[in-house]
Structures are given as structure tokens and as C-alpha cells.
């Protein structure tokens, strides 16, 4: 019997041209890594470009805001100044035989810092008047938006009356409720 010649199997690491497969895989990996680095570089460059563009817009807005703060943007009207009265006011009510509570955070809005500072000297009287005003309210009426707005207007009138009496000026344009909780 004739023996068939058996060829030795070709090495697994060689491709059709006889080149080792390891080098072509290495080239492919290097190309992928370089491609990823280029993409990352472009995205970082684009982000920096757009951020610098936004910074210029923010600087322009900042200059406009600074001009407004100095009263240059609107010649007839000064910038609003807010004075937060801390801590928040807490009053209790007896409503339908149950204890109920109201917590109100108040901010005063004025246009002249000197007038607000003059009013700060009378803060104990102001806080007392507001506590009395808040505790004298009807709990059921305060549960509605109209009732809350009415209370805000009464509070503004009370603060303006005190400011007029003590400092000779209104000092406060309006009173704002920054938080109101009924329980």
C-alpha cells in the first residue's frame, strides 16, 4: 500500500500570504487606538471652543448686570435689594378644635440699601407686628391662593406703615413670601 504523503498543517498564526497574523492584528489595534485618540481630541477641542464662546457671552451679560447694578441700565429705577427676615415666622391657630401651624419665610424688597438698613434698626418691632398680623388670620382663608395673596398685601402695608412711621420713608416696595407652609 502506498502511503499518502501527509502535509504538515500550516501554522495557525500565518495568513494566506504567509505573513504572521499577529502583526496585522497589532496594526489594526494601533489604528483603532489612534482613531479613538483623534475622536477624543476633536471632542475636547470642540468643547473648549464652545465653552470659550459661551464665556464671552457670559462676560457680556456680566457687564450688563454690573451696569444695571449701578443704575445705568434703567435711569429711573434702581436695582431691587432683598432683605430676608430670618428665622421664618411660625404661628399657631386653633381651627375646628385642632392645633394648626403656619410657617412663613419673608423677604423685603426695596430699592435703597440705606433705607433698608435704617429699617433694620427697628427689626424687633417689625417682627412683633408681623407675628401679630399672622396669628390673627383665619386658617381656612389662608388655605386658598387668594387668602395668601391678601395676607401678603396686608403684610406689605404693615411693613410700609412701620417704615414710614420710624424712618420717614417707605423703604420697602413689597413683601414677598419665599415659603409658606400650612399644617
Q: Which domain holds residue 116?
A: 81-182
Say whether both 42 and 114 belong to one domain: no
The CATH number assigned to the domain holding 173 equals 3.30.479
Kind plus residue range of the DSSP H or E element containing 47: helix 21-69
Burial label, 177 (beta-carbon count in 10 A; 0-12, 13-18, 19+): middle
The one-digit pLDDT tens for each residue of the chain (183 residues) are 555 555 555 554 444 555 566 678 898 999 999 998 998 888 888 888 888 876 666 666 666 655 555 544 455 778 999 999 999 999 998 888 899 999 999 999 999 999 999 999 999 999 999 999 999 988 888 989 999 999 999 999 999 999 999 888 888 999 999 999 998
Number of domains in the chain: 2
Say whether both 93 and 166 belong to one domain: yes
Beta strands at 174-182 and 98-110: parallel, antiparallel or unpaired: antiparallel
Say whether both 29 and 94 belong to one domain: no
Say whether both 61 and 88 belong to one domain: no
Coil/strand/helix, residue 172: coil
Say whether both 156 and 107 belong to one domain: yes
Say whether both 99 and 142 belong to one domain: yes
- Does 87 sit behind a cis peptide bond, omega within 30 degrees of 0 on the bond before it? yes
Amino acid at each position: 500500500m502506498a502511503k499518502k504523503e501527509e502535509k504538515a498543517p500550516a501554522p495557525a498564526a500565518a495568513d494566506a500570504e504567509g505573513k504572521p497574523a499577529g502583526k496585522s492584528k497589532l496594526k489594526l489595534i494601533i489604528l483603532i487606538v489612534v482613531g479613538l485618540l483623534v475622536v477624543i481630541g476633536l471632542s475636547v477641542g470642540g468643547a473648549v471652543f464652545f465653552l470659550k464662546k459661551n464665556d464671552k457671552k457670559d462676560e457680556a451679560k456680566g457687564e450688563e448686570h454690573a451696569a444695571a447694578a449701578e443704575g445705568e441700565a434703567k435711569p429711573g429705577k434702581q436695582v431691587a435689594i432683598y432683605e430676608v427676615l430670618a428665622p421664618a415666622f411660625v404661628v399657631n391657630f386653633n381651627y375646628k378644635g385642632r392645633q394648626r401651624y403656619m410657617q412663613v419665610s419673608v423677604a423685603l424688597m426695596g430699592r435703597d440699601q440705606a433705607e433698608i438698613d435704617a429699617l433694620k434698626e427697628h427689626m424687633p418691632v417689625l417682627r412683633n407686628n408681623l407675628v401679630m398680623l399672622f396669628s390673627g388670620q383665619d386658617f381656612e382663608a389662608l388655605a386658598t391662593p387668594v387668602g395668601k395673596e391678601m395676607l401678603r398685601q396686608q403684610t406689605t402695608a404693615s411693613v410700609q406703615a412701620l417704615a414710614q412711621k420710624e424712618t420717614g420713608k417707605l423703604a420697602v416696595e413689597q413683601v414677598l413670601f419665599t415659603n409658606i407652609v400650612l399644617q
